[in-house]
Amino acid sequence: MSISFFKMLLALFIGLFGSLIFIFLHLPLPWLMGSIFATSIAIRFEKIPISSPKLFSSPARILIGLAIGSAFTPEILKYIPQYTFSLLLVVPFTILVIFFGTYYYYKILKYDLKTSYLGSMPGGVIEMVIIGQELKANTSKITLMQSSRLFFVVVSLPFIIQYIFQIDIRGNQLLTTPLVNIDFKQFLILYIFGIIGAIVAKKVKLTAAFLMGPMIVSIILYSTGTFNVAIPDEFLKFIQVIFGVIIGFTFKGVPIKTIYKTLIATLGHFLILAILCIIFIAIIHFYLDFKTLDILLAFGPGGQTEINLIALLVGANLPYITLHHIVRLLIVMNIAPILAKRLKS
């Protein structure tokens, strides 16, 4: 066993320990939140030999993609035409988020224009950093801005779900079917299909390939009734620990003072996002009468992986939520590099 692999395992063990503490304290989303909390503390101690478990990220994303696709049953697909108006509203929502976010960072906080623009994008952290590197923007600041926004979303949503929507997500809840009750042969075949989907998606340069590829394959397999096996409960919990540790590591090597200042700065942006979300939630709920929690998760400006994971855990309408995030991601990934090239640094 290599030293780097041992460091990843130790990081996951620390994250798992944090999750168990959150379960003991009956706090929301313990497997995800507990691992974020424990990792964020552990990385402050340089003598602890740990590293981000990025090696586990791709296999975990494949599992999430398969789990999301499993919600697209033949019965649920009948309702997709009803989402059209709501999906169209993603366009003005995304444009407003980018406009007000860029204005806030550029005019109020005096960040440079490219950094303000890419930092305010409601896309994934990795995607925005890659674009920032290509356009020679301040990638370290973009990373911190995007990570801070993701942190606020991931931290606040469980408490909103727990105390406003009165959905019990404390402790060690059963999420799907336990491993002992799973047709493991069918699940293994499904996972192999997921790997193939991820490889193909990577080859054709699909955004978030290791999530989107398996998700597309899973949608096809489940919507046609070819597969009906559930993703094992234990696997979904371990995925949360993996991503909790990875999120915690986004703050590694960054001085506490810088994190504090960026969190305060990003809080202003987060409040702008919250106001926009409330407006669009009200419009959609009033005119279309979808569930408020589903709309919140569909328009919630977090990472696609993290939001979909939370949606999985609370039993929300996954097809509705996933389609909205796909539309938003397509908008962001297409307009972000085009407009950023025209902006001055």
Predicted confidence at residue 326, as pLDDT, reads 80
Local structure of 306: helix, strand or coil: helix
Within 10 angstroms of residue 99's Cβ, the number of other Cβ atoms is 12
Show the CA angle centred on residue 304, arms to residues 300 and 306, nearest 5°: 85
Residue type, 194: G
Mean pLDDT of 63-68: 86
Residue type, 156: S
Residue type, 332: V
| Average pLDDT for the chain | 84
pLDDT at 105 over 60: yes
Please say whether the dihedral angle defined by the alpha carbons of residues 246, 105, 259 and 161, taken in this order, is positive or negative. negative
If 0-12 CB within 10 Å is exposed, 13-18 middle and 19+ buried, where does residue 274 land?
A: middle
Would you say 215 and 26 are in contact if contact means Cβ atoms under 8 Å apart? no
Q: Which of 147, 118, 149 is nearest to 131 (CA)?
A: 118
List of residues 6+ apart from 147 with CB closer than 8 A: 125, 247, 250, 251
pTM of the full structure = 0.71
Beta bridge partners of 170: 28
pLDDT at 175 over 70: no
Would you say 326 and 308 are in contact if contact means Cβ atoms under 8 Å apart? no
Residue labelled with tokens 């996954």: 318
Predicted confidence at residue 345, as pLDDT, reads 53
Within 10 angstroms of residue 131's Cβ, the number of other Cβ atoms is 22
Q: What is the pLDDT of residues 240-255, one digit of tens each?
A: 899 889 888 877 877 8
Within 10 angstroms of residue 222's Cβ, the number of other Cβ atoms is 23
List of residues 6+ apart from 206 with CB closer than 8 A: 212, 213
